[in-house]
Amino acid sequence: MPGTIAIEFNESAIKIAEGRRKGNTLDLVKLQIIPTPSGVIKDERLQGQNAADILKKYLTEQYFSASKSLFTRNVTAVVSPASAITRQLLLPLTADSSIASMVKYELKEFFPSSADEYIIRHKNLGEAPEAGGVKKMRIFAAALPRQIVEDYYYFCESLKLKPSAMSINCETAQKVFELCGTINGLELSKFNTVALLDIGFSCSHLHILKNCRTEMSNVIGLGEKHIIEAVAAGFDIPVDEAAAEFDKFGSLAVRRTDLDASEQQKHIDALNNIIRNNVDVLVEEARQILAYYTSRTIGYNIEHVFAYGDALSVNGLDAYVASGLNIQVTRVDHIGGIKVNGALERQRNMFKFVNVIGALISS
């Protein structure tokens, strides 16, 4: 079976994974993060043709010039824009051929512009209890701006790649959990309902999966970018300097404070207080989403949260989120059903690549 390249685009970094699906196993060949040139991508969108040309030249130099290392030219693109619309709909039970038009009609009120400017996908989650004597079905629907899809499709073609799909993160995350069987050794089959917390750069996403199928997906309008900007504002330093300090000193692990601290340690403590205050906002939004879900689906409890995304490199972030949600949180460090070579295993940063790995699985 041919392999696939998956590329996740955002304004901070471009993540690339190469791999091949073999039955219930994924062979990973390469994982790489390439910083995105400044100003080229904003809110997950390419900023015009000039930006696309700059990015094409940059990626060719940084990655694709070593074409002999590529065993495939098939590519799946991944984006996680805040402009994506996801909803669970309750519709009258009908033939599959009629669902698409019903979904488009139901989503109209959420579109800021014409529904024709969006590409809509849906999944039938099965029948729901009757309401007023009418049989119902539950549909999970996702809509992505058509312009975003077309921009990245033609961009991938310009790299002489063969675009096969465009995925959003709620789709790719589900694929990981369908295939893997275990996360960090935890058997997923013992969980009925779990939440996936994807702390991205421009925003974060909270997905709720029941029996490995997406029930709900919500955008949380706070990501790593906003935390770094708060650090920059707090210390009156440039954003790139704040990002470097975030990466180097960010920690929410419990630290003894009864010891005399150096000036540098006081600075680090102040930085981590800013990080903590912003994470508190994220946790509170996540808590409200989870409370809403459990209140409308009687008998369902969120049994576990799996967290991933670049911000999870902050020491102790997973434990801090767990204390705020009062639910056990596991950072995704090891994914069952995936074969990696020793070099990839030693990177110890699987939590940064969940979305592109899911795209490889779904391709």
Same domain for 195 and 105: no
Residue 158 pLDDT class (50, 70, 90 cuts)? confident
Q: How many CB atoms lie under 10 A from the CB of residue 61?
A: 11
In the chain, % of residues over pLDDT 90: 32
Whether residue 20 is predicted with pLDDT greater than 90 in this model: the reply is: no
Q: What CATH number is associated with residue 308? A: 3.30.420.40
The pLDDT value recorded for residue 236 is 96
Whether residue 68 is predicted with pLDDT greater than 80 in this model: the reply is: no
In the chain, % of residues over pLDDT 70: 92
The pLDDT value recorded for residue 242 is 96
The pairing of beta strand 25-35 with beta strand 338-339 = parallel
Structure tokens at 337: 């059903």
Same domain for 192 and 327: yes
Whether residue 282 is predicted with pLDDT greater than 90 in this model: the reply is: yes
Same domain for 193 and 94: no
Q: What CATH number is associated with residue 101? A: 3.30.1490.300
Name the DSSP letter for residue 66: -
Q: How far is CA 12 from the centre of its chain?
A: 14
Q: How many CB atoms lie under 10 A from the CB of residue 27?
A: 15
The pLDDT value recorded for residue 70 is 54
The pLDDT value recorded for residue 18 is 87
The pLDDT value recorded for residue 298 is 63
Same domain for 226 and 100: no
The pLDDT value recorded for residue 195 is 95
With respect to residue 284, please indicate whether it lies within any of the assigned structural domains: yes
Average pLDDT, the chain: 86
The pLDDT value recorded for residue 258 is 57
Same domain for 327 and 191: yes
Same domain for 213 and 107: no
Residue 29 pLDDT class (50, 70, 90 cuts)? confident
Please enumerate in sequence order all residues whose Cβ is within 8 A of that of 324, keeping only pairs 6 or more positions apart, or say none: 279, 280, 283, 284, 287
With respect to residue 57, please indicate whether it lies within any of the assigned structural domains: no
CA dist 151 and 52 (Å) reads 9
With respect to residue 290, please indicate whether it lies within any of the assigned structural domains: yes
Same domain for 118 and 228: no
The range of the structural domain enclosing residue 103 comes to 85-144
Task: Read off the pLDDT of residues 292-347 as tens digits, 9 standing for 90 and up.
Answer: 888 876 667 899 999 999 999 999 999 999 999 999 999 999 888 888 876 676 66
Task: Read off the pLDDT of residues 172-205 as tens digits, 9 standing for 90 and up.
Answer: 888 888 878 889 999 988 898 999 999 999 899 9
Same domain for 190 and 134: no
With respect to residue 221, please indicate whether it lies within any of the assigned structural domains: yes
Whether residue 79 is predicted with pLDDT greater than 80 in this model: the reply is: yes
Please enumerate in sequence order all residues whose Cβ is within 8 A of that of 14, keeping only pairs 6 or more positions apart, or say none: 7, 8, 33, 34, 35, 36, 59
Task: Read off the pLDDT of residues 204-257 as tens digits, 9 standing for 90 and up.
Answer: 999 999 888 888 889 999 999 999 999 999 999 999 999 999 999 999 987 656
Q: Print burial letters for 77-103: b (CB count within 10 Å at least 16), e (below 16).
A: bbbbbebbbbbbbebeeeeeeebeebb
Same domain for 223 and 315: yes
With respect to residue 59, please indicate whether it lies within any of the assigned structural domains: no
With respect to residue 69, please indicate whether it lies within any of the assigned structural domains: no
The pLDDT value recorded for residue 257 is 61
Residue 354 pLDDT class (50, 70, 90 cuts)? very high
Same domain for 265 and 138: no
Count structural domains, the chain: 2
- Write phi, then psi, for 302 (nearest 5 degrees): -75, 115
In terms of average pLDDT, the best of 162-171, 176-185, 252-261, 279-288 is 279-288
The pLDDT value recorded for residue 65 is 67
With respect to residue 253, please indicate whether it lies within any of the assigned structural domains: yes
For the chain, how big is the Rg over CA atoms in Å? 21
Residue matched to tokens 């729901």: 128
Structure tokens at 96: 């599959």
Whether residue 133 is predicted with pLDDT greater than 80 in this model: the reply is: no
The pLDDT value recorded for residue 64 is 72
CA dist 242 and 235 (Å) reads 8
Task: Read off the pLDDT of residues 94-117 as tens digits, 9 standing for 90 and up.
Answer: 888 889 999 999 888 888 878 888
Whether residue 72 is predicted with pLDDT greater than 80 in this model: the reply is: no
With respect to residue 7, please indicate whether it lies within any of the assigned structural domains: no
Whether residue 283 is predicted with pLDDT greater than 80 in this model: the reply is: yes
Same domain for 206 and 302: yes
Same domain for 254 and 326: yes
Q: Print burial letters for 235-271: b (CB count within 10 Å at least 16), e (below 16).
A: eeeeeeebbebbeebbbbeeeeeeeeeeeeeeebeeb
